[in-house]
């Protein structure tokens, strides 16, 4: 897994995806920081994190689009699948490389905390709560994006499908409000990513929400392993 991780981290930077992702994250988080924190004169970054949900919906598919689709397109997947390494190690190596880059991007918030500290007082409990809320969300979204990347050899198709799927997850609350069938409403609300995420950014720690995001990550990584296993024996 370590070799796959190092290979993918290097590929992120040689392909330029890392720079696009990091720049995009820094640009939009900086914009929301200026508007919701500096502009309002408040030290609470929760509104900024709330706004970043939609930005992550568009950025993460860009991060994950090439992870497996490029292997399939370049026909390097067969060499990878027949290598003396387990499919789980391949998937987790790629997954943790993407997650590591996401953590690097998200850590820009600590620069913002220094700016706040120069003018006021940082509430570290709230800041860390927001940080981990986005981390858990990103962990789930990256697993979904990796799974989508395993289904196609076209990077752009992977990105577009990923954005569509994550955007639909963002709209789950709105969809629930417009569906007249009660049990479907309850199911959509219970599975809502956005409402669970916003609760964490507001300082409402719910262990079930953390378990939910981690379970989504585990489940979709498992699905990806199954896709590769099927391709190995095809």
- How crowded is residue 226: how many other Cβ atoms within 10 Å of its Cβ? 14
State the Rg of the chain over Cα.
19
In 65-181, alpha helices (H): 69-73, 77-81, 87-106, 109-119, 124-149, 155-170, 172-177
Contact 199, 173 (CB under 8 A): no
Sign of the torsion angle spanned by Cα atoms 168, 228, 60, 126: positive
The predicted model scores a pTM of: 0.92
Return d(Cα 137, Cα 196) in angstroms, integer.
Answer: 9
Q: How many domains does the chain have?
A: 1
Contact 228, 150 (CB under 8 A): yes
What pLDDT is stored for residue 177 in this prediction? 78
**DSSP 8-state class, residue 192:** -
What pLDDT is stored for residue 234 in this prediction? 63
pLDDT tens track, the chain, 234 positions: 788 899 899 989 998 999 999 999 999 999 988 887 776 667 677 788 888 899 999 999 999 998 888 877 777 766 666 677 888 999 999 999 999 999 999 999 888 888 888 777 777 777 888 899 999 999 999 999 999 999 998 899 999 999 999 999 998 888 877 887 788 888 888 888 988 898 888 777 778 899 999 999 999 999 999 998 887 776
Domain membership of residue 117 as a residue range: 2-232
Return d(Cα 118, Cα 74) in angstroms, integer.
Answer: 50
Contact 57, 167 (CB under 8 A): yes
List C-alpha distances in Å: 193 to 111, 113, 173, 184, 214.
27, 26, 9, 16, 12
Q: Tell me the DSSP string of 180-210.
A: --HHHHHHHHHT-HHHHHHHHHTT---HHHH
CA proximity to 49, closest of 62, 63, 36? 36
What pLDDT is stored for residue 113 in this prediction? 86
What pLDDT is stored for residue 77 in this prediction? 66
């Amino acid at each position: 897994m370590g070799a796959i991780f190092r290979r993918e981290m290097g590929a992120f930077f040689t392909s330029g995806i890392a720079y696009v992702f990091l720049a995009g994250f820094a640009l939009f988080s900086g914009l929301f920081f200026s508007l919701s924190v500096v502009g309002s004169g408040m030290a609470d970054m929760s509104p900024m994190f709330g706004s970043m949900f939609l930005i992550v919906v568009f950025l993460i598919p860009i991060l994950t689009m090439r992870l497996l689709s490029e292997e399939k397109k370049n026909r390097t997947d067969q060499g990878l699948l027949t290598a003396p390494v387990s499919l789980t190690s391949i998937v987790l190596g790629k997954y943790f490389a993407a997650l590591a880059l996401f953590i690097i991007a998200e850590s820009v918030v600590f620069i913002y905390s220094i700016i706040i500290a120069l003018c006021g007082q940082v509430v570290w409990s709230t800041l860390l709560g927001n940080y981990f809320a986005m981390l858990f969300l990103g962990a789930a979204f990256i697993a979904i994006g990796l799974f989508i990347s395993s289904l196609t050899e076209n990077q752009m198709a992977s990105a577009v499908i990923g954005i569509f799927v994550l955007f639909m997850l963002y709209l789950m609350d709105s969809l629930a409000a417009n569906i007249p069938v009660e049990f479907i409403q309850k199911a959509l609300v219970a599975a809502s990513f956005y409402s669970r995420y916003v609760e964490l950014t507001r300082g409402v720690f719910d262990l079930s929400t953390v378990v939910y995001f981690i379970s989504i990550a585990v489940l979709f990584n498992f699905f990806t392993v199954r896709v590769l296993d099927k391709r190995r024996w095809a």
